[in-house]
Amino acid sequence: MLSFLASRAGVAMAAIVIALGLLTFSHRFAYQAGKDAERLSRLKADVEAHQKREGIDHEVDGLDRYHVCIGLGGVQSDCEQLRGMEETTGSE
């Protein structure tokens, strides 16, 4: 066995095994780095969306139903029906 490792075929085979090991390691490392980068970008997007939503919530909380309807692009004649609903249904 030792004589095989010292031969040209043994050295070539050992070089192939080492090269495959290095390629496997580098592939796994690159895959994990890409996976971590994607996870980080999704987390950043989620945080930004949450912060934006909180800002919108604070704006909308101060509006009555009529102004929310107008803000969403409703037709004024249709939104007029919502005026005064808070007084009749009670505050939510």
Which amino acid does the sequence have at 73? G
86-to-30, 48, 65, 83 alpha-carbon distances in Å: 57, 32, 8, 8
The domains of the chain are located at: 1-46
Which segments of the chain have a pLDDT < 70?
Answer: 1, 84-92
Q: What is the pLDDT of residue 32?
A: 95
Q: Whole-angstrom Cα distance, residue 68 to residue 74?
A: 9
